[in-house]
Amino acid sequence: MTRMLLAGALAALLVIALGPFFIAWSRRNEFGQNIREDGPDSHHKTKGGTPTMGGLLIFFCMSVPYFLIGRAHTNVGLVVWLTMMMCALIGFWDDWMKIANKRSLGLSGKMKMAALLAVTGFLGYTSHVLLDISTVVQIPLTRCNAFGENCHALNVDLGYGWYVLLFFVIAGAS
């Protein structure tokens, strides 16, 4: 637990330290946000040219400490990192389409959902089938004491519904 907290703190510090350089690099390379012409003028002044692809910085800053001090050597850790990488690639693809086409539109909603569905399939299959992670979800019914005793929970086996829950979590987090 301490290693994961340390990795998270280091990731946050890396984002803070590297963020200004990444923003300057993005502006130099004109990786800015394109704004639709039919929007309000105030929006054009503030949003136009805002650097995009910040997910690259976040992905890099999360990956470095994760591999240095995290739990990347475990199968579960590797699956989590691969899932994060796939979501980052979807974001990169979306941003790249905006930049390459010089439009405010990237991937369509259907394409994003299809890609996230593929990520869900990967995570669901690897975690449930290969890593033998249960599809049982615990719903706490009573409050536990400080020692984790006197806990009463309802165990619900979601079966294939677990994949639906997983999709909502992944789509909501990305």
Task: Kindly list the domain boundaries of the chain, sorted by start residue.
Answer: 1-70, 72-174
Q: pLDDT digit string (tens) for 46-79?
A: 555 666 777 888 889 888 888 888 666 788 888 8
For the full predicted model, state whether its pTM sits above 0.75: no
Strands (E), 24-167: 136-140, 153-157
d(CA 30, CA 68): 32
